[in-house]
Chains A and B, each alone.
Chain A
């Protein structure tokens, strides 16, 4: 296929976002969904094409180490497709004054463009630009519910997010200063001589912590529960479901290409374990369903970090499975929880008032815990078998952590289900509360449920492309060879 079309996955949503306020009001509500549909179609085509061979686009036509490249392998194309589809499912259709709805739609489009950019970019500073773009758009969306609590939560998010961006930028500066290049393939080529030392690792840790803010990494994830509890449900769903995965993807690309070192893996493993323990136990303690989901999301991302720390395609396959599973489940849960805020006791009798909503919640909860044959089981199975195959005891400890936290996860999710299906308490106030589900939330999570069930049925069929994507992604040498057919020319010219 024509590789120059790859640029459209970033350019189209941005163009739609810029021009949205100028479109006549009759057609204005169509602009965003049409742009996202086009990106989804493009993502589908790219996925087909890139599974056999990765595609490279040199933006502006300048040869790679000088210009910026977009690199589309199976994983990147799949994420482009997912970004477009999930954004479409969580699209802000209405419920606001026209002017504010325009702004929310513009910001959502910008966020989608930043996410696809993060998926395909092959340049370290370009990654930073898209990361910052995603950050600014998500600050706006998180504050968009315009309640005081949301603005306070967003303010903390902005502070922590800025610190994260600063750390990442310092790390990138350090890498650029030491190597004189920003292209990921070129960095991968130079890393063994220039970056595999304590200073290079320091740069990696700075970037890890910086991007970790969005990926809900342990230590820098304290913003998440408050933001997810106060923002609109679809915004929480976008941030927890989508943006966190793209930040994670960038970290993994760096790990695979530039820092395939045991120390870097150990850092990921330890932080992932701490995130999983702290997230799941905090979720156990949470007395509000949105905060509980937020902490559980931190725990799940901890599991993904653990999975990606396993060397080789095995770890990548497990990590991708966990990330994609979480991407399907958590947005749906946030959509369902939109009207279920407040204390858990308020959920008493929710199953009677909203039987479909409660049934969907049970389905997603079961998959999250990892009950076979739901996809969550396969994700955890891949993770545990990957961990068990490692000789290092630390990996076995991580396996133990995964098992223990799964029990904790089951306890707090079943507690919620118990309240929902249990007898209504003696609190008569419950009757007045409107905690039935709006049709849009049910429809949205219904689509996610359909996807989840389809994945459960087609699990044996999904193994082949998943393994293919993981092998493709783990092959750093192929990445370098594809992007830089001849590195010698530049090194020769510069010296």
Chain B
């Protein structure tokens, strides 16, 4: 009884603290010190029309590598907690396929989702979107067929290869800069013409790696959870 009210009291107090902290800030006039400087020079030095991408992959590329690793660690941890060493195939084949509408819808949507997903990824340096968003669409594309036909699972090892190689490509692309005597994760290959598909140097390549890694990881995670659900 006491603990329940204690939790409520804590939440209320915490909310009040946050309220006080943020109402005491001037509204609508953020101090844009680093932000303004990035806005001023990003298009020229990085060559990405989408400045968010310039920040995510160029100025703060190591953060993005860290975030990719967080996702990787989360997926690995889930695998460690849920994962049985194989033996799920028997349970999977016994499952009923989905209804006609689900199957036909999945067939129709699969190519569409692939195209949209890759479009969002390869245009990440030009328009809003990029590897993380596109990767999620790709993951949906690969989970949907499994929902429609549970007996046809995608092999985990293929996913693991995509995941591992994509992560490797990101880091190796970053390390290539060391070969030409630059710092880790320096964008290479020049900036190109601002706003064209082949611009911003190695950033599109990095985003492709991000997209494939995020897609493979999320799809793997979702598939593992559906297996766990039907397996028990």
State the A residues within 8 Å of B (CB): 3-5, 7-8, 10-11, 14-15, 17-22, 57-62, 65-68, 97-100, 103-104, 106-107, 110, 113-114, 117, 125-126, 129-130, 132-133, 136-137, 139-141, 143-144, 146, 151, 170, 174, 177-183, 186, 194, 199, 202, 490-491, 493-494
Contact = CB atoms under 8 A, between A and B. Distances in A.
Contacts of B40: 493
A4 B70 contact: no
Given A133-B70, A136-B70, A180-B30, A18 B168 contact: yes
Interface in B29-50: 30-38, 40-41, 45
22 contacts: A5-B178, A7-B185, A11-B65, A18-B163, A19-B168, A21-B160, A59-B184, A60-B61, A62-B59, A66-B37, A68-B60, A103-B79, A104-B80, A106-B72, A114-B69, A133-B69, A133-B70, A136-B73, A137-B73, A139-B77, A180-B31, A180-B32
B66 A106 contact: no
A57 B178 CA distance: 12
Contact of A178 (B25, B59, B164): B25
Given A11-B175, A22-B161, A180-B30, A494 B81 contact: no
B83 A151 contact: no
A110 B187 CA distance: 24
Q: Per DSSP, are chain B's interface residues mostly helix, strand or loop, or mixed?
A: helix
B171 interface: yes
Given A61-B183, A103-B76, A151-B81, A22 B61 contact: no
Nearest to A202: B21
A62 B183 CA distance: 9
Given A140-B76, A174-B21, A493-B37, 13 more contacts: A15-B167, A22-B160, A59-B183, A59-B185, A60-B59, A61-B183, A65-B34, A100-B80, A103-B76, A103-B77, A136-B73, A143-B81, A494-B37
A170 to B, nearest CB: 7
Contacts, number: 198
Contacts of B45: 62
A353 to B, nearest CB: 33
B21 to A, nearest CB: 6
B185 A129 contact: no
Contacts of A174: 21, 25
B119 to A, nearest CB: 26
Contacts of A62: 45, 58-59
Contact of A14 (B41, B69, B76, B78): B69
Contact of A180 (B35, B58, B174, B186): B35
B181 interface: yes
Interface in B121-168: 160-161, 163-165, 167-168
A159 to B, nearest CB: 11
B77 A181 contact: no
Interface string B166-207: 011001101101100111111100000000000000000000
Contact of B85 (A97, A114, A140, A178): A97
B118 to A, nearest CB: 22
A146 B77 CA distance: 11
A98 B80 CA distance: 11
B24 interface: yes
A98 B70 CA distance: 23
A4 B73 contact: no
B76 A11 contact: no
Given A7-B183, A183-B34, A132 B80 contact: no
B104 interface: no
B72 A140 contact: no
Q: Which 7 A-B pairs have the closest CB atoms?
A: A140-B77, A180-B33, A7-B184, A18-B167, A180-B31, A129-B66, A136-B73
A174 B40 CA distance: 24
Interface string B69-107: 110111011111101011000000000000000000000
A67 B184 CA distance: 12
Contact of B66 (A22, A126, A493): A126
B69 A17 contact: yes
B225 interface: no
Contacts of B33: 65, 179-181, 186, 490-491, 494
A202 B23 CA distance: 14
Contacts of A125: 60, 63
Of the candidates B34, B59, B85, the one having the most CB atoms from chain A within 10 angstroms of its own CB is B34
A99 B83 contact: yes
Contacts of A14: 65, 69, 167, 171
A178 B60 contact: no
A106 B76 contact: yes
Contacts of A183: 34
A146 B81 contact: yes
Contact of B24 (A103, A117, A199): A199
B39 to A, nearest CB: 10
A194 B63 CA distance: 26
Contacts of A181: 33-34
B67 interface: yes
Contacts of A140: 73-74, 76-78, 80-81
A177 B30 contact: yes
B18 A170 contact: yes
